[in-house]
Chains A and B, each alone.
Chain A
Amino acid sequence: MINYHPDSQLLTSYVSGELMTSFSCAVAIHLEKCPSCRHKAESFIEQKACHAFQFEESNGDSSEFDGMLNAILSDDGIDTPPINYLKEMEIGGEQFTLPRALSKLSFGKASSIGKISRSRAKLDEGSVRTSLMHIEAGGKVPQHTHKGYELTLVLSGKFKDESGEYSEGDFIFLEGKHKHQPVSVNGCLCMTIVSDSLHFTQGINKLLNPIGTYIY
């Protein structure tokens, strides 16, 4: 049972393609596991599409595109349905098949401390760092504080902290000053996105693709 979900604002930005890659992947993985959010996202995208493509009586002049149209039509080939290969990954001595959204990302070599192993995704998102975190059965993440925000998405297994228990698909977004101490009795694999940037941007803007926000 999934108890923690991305909020509607996050889902809307997700369907519009405005989130940075790390958050887009995390929301995609949650949706794969969560029918109710999937349903919501579908209605959001219908609204977005409806808004982007309102065809009025007078459909302006499209002659500037004539050359483009001819170029497209001159090649009669079609694309075969893509085949998605899932990525296999070993972390913390266990073998995992990663969700489809992560299948083309590259990850660094895992580093371990005690029962905690982390492998960083190579995403170039500045102060925003994305990684896979594996907690071996009985493992404890030492108590820590975040200044920015932290997203934890459970990919498999369970963990708990002072505020509750989390299982596969749970999307736990924490921001501002908070302390917690995750513990996993039987082991788990999570995707985490952490920002400890001192330059705070408020609200949803901090999760958006910086180029997109820059231009707006």
Chain B
Amino acid sequence: MATATRLFANTHEYAKALPMTLKSPPQDLEQLLLDVALKRDKNAFSQLFKLFAPKIKHHAQSKLGSQDAANDIVQETMTNVWRKAHLFNPNKGAVNTWVYTIMRNVTFDALRKIQSNREDVVSEDIWPLIDIETVKPMEEDHLSTNLLMKHINELSPEQQAVVKGIYFSGISQEQLAIHLDLPLGTVKSRLRLAMAKLKAIGAHL
């Protein structure tokens, strides 16, 4: 069984590099983001939003010059954090880095649009948010992923949290148990039930 120490091993190292004045240590950020990912916790998101929004605006203003353009970057970056939180994998890096990545991608596409009037979004191909397997053109795959998401959204919130944590965030069952504050056995049985239900409603797994 994983301990909290192991779970936060990489963020501890990261904390050493941060200034002593840090108000919100990375562990808290990670807990907040996982609460957003697994429970769609609006309060946790609001806390992240209040920490990050002013910083993102400051950064964007130095890149884009105008206030309005900077506000657009804040809005798009934080919308992505809200909508893609389940793609954050705490084993791959810190929350700071993940948010930076999203902000960088949004800013890159915005600059590119100003510069060449191109609407195509290439940042996601240059800096993919997650290591996904790239596939050769085949429309069916795309459809079946959308369908699978539809099925997952039909599960109870508790079951969704487990399925998303394991399959999208890529964390282990032990880590998930710690984050959801549940016994490991409960996580395992929830996952089993969720998978059975997905099969029953016709999802291709």
Residues of A within 8 A of B (CB): 15-17, 21, 24-25, 28, 42, 45-50, 52-57, 59-62, 65, 68-69, 71-73, 76-86, 88, 97, 100-105, 123-125, 209-212, 215
Task: Tell me which residues across on chain A come within 8 A of B146, comparing CB atoms.
Answer: 80
CB-nearest residue of chain B to A26:
B126
Our pick among A15, A54, A65, A124 for the contact of B116 (Cβ within 8 Å) is A124
With known contacts A53-B55, A84-B134, A100-B134, A24–B83 Cβ distance under 8 A: no
B124 touches A82 (CB 8 A): yes
Q: Complex formed: what's the CA distance from A212 to B121 in Å?
A: 18
Task: Tell me which residues across on chain B come within 8 A of A73, comparing CB atoms.
Answer: 42, 45-46, 82
Q: For this complex, into which size category does the number of interface residues on chain B fall?
A: 35 or more
With known contacts A16-B104, A55-B24, A209–B136 Cβ distance under 8 A: no
Q: Complex formed: what's the CA distance from A17 to B53 in Å?
A: 19
With known contacts A46-B94, A68-B75, A80-B149, A215–B63 Cβ distance under 8 A: yes
Our pick among B50, B85, B135 for the contact of A84 (Cβ within 8 Å) is B135
The 4 A-B residue pairs whose C-beta atoms are closest, nearest first, are A49-B100, A17-B108, A17-B104, A124-B116
B100 touches A53 (CB 8 A): yes
Instruction: Looking at the assembled complex, report how far the CB atom of A189 sits from the nearest CB atom of chain B, in whole angstroms.
Output: 17
CB-nearest residue of chain B to A80:
B149
Given contacts A62-B53, A77-B83, 12 further A-B contacts (CB under 8 A): A25-B122, A28-B125, A45-B101, A46-B93, A46-B96, A53-B51, A55-B23, A68-B71, A79-B87, A88-B136, A101-B126, A123-B116
Our pick among A49, A76, A104, A215 for the contact of B125 (Cβ within 8 Å) is A104
Instruction: Looking at the assembled complex, report how far the CB atom of A212 sits from the nearest CB atom of chain B, in whole angstroms.
Output: 6
Instruction: Provide 6 A-B residue pairs closer than 8 Å at the C-beta atoms, listed in order of the A residue.
Output: A24-B108, A45-B101, A52-B103, A73-B82, A100-B128, A101-B126
From 114 to 145 in chain B, residues with beta carbon under 8 angstroms from any chain A beta carbon are: 114-116, 118, 120-130, 132, 134-138, 141-142, 145
B136 touches A97 (CB 8 A): yes
Task: Tell me which residues across on chain B come within 8 A of A124, comparing CB atoms.
Answer: 115-116, 118
Our pick among A49, A56, A77, A210 for the contact of B21 (Cβ within 8 Å) is A56
Instruction: Looking at the assembled complex, report how far the CB atom of B19 sits from the nearest CB atom of chain A, in whole angstroms.
Output: 6
CB-nearest residue of chain A to B141:
A83
A-facing mask of B68-86, CB < 8 A → 1, else 0?
Answer: 0001001100111011111
Q: Complex formed: what's the CA distance from A79 to B149 in Å?
A: 9
Instruction: Looking at the assembled complex, report how far the CB atom of A82 sits from the nearest CB atom of chain B, in whole angstroms.
Output: 6
Our pick among B40, B83, B118 for the contact of A79 (Cβ within 8 Å) is B83
A104 touches B122 (CB 8 A): yes
B168 touches A81 (CB 8 A): yes
Task: Tell me which residues across on chain B come within 8 A of A62, comparing CB atoms.
Answer: 49-50, 53-54
Q: Complex formed: what's the CA distance from A97 to B137 in Å?
A: 11
B54 touches A69 (CB 8 A): no
Q: Complex formed: what's the CA distance from A16 to B63 in Å?
A: 11
CB-nearest residue of chain B to A68:
B75
Q: Complex formed: what's the CA distance from A83 to B135 in Å?
A: 7
CB-nearest residue of chain A to B58:
A52
Instruction: Looking at the assembled complex, report how far the CB atom of A101 sits from the nearest CB atom of chain B, in whole angstroms.
Output: 5
B96 touches A49 (CB 8 A): yes
B145 touches A46 (CB 8 A): no
Task: Tell me which residues across on chain A come within 8 A of B23, comparing CB atoms.
Answer: 55-57, 59
Task: Tell me which residues across on chain B come within 8 A of A48, comparing CB atoms.
Answer: 100
B87 touches A85 (CB 8 A): no
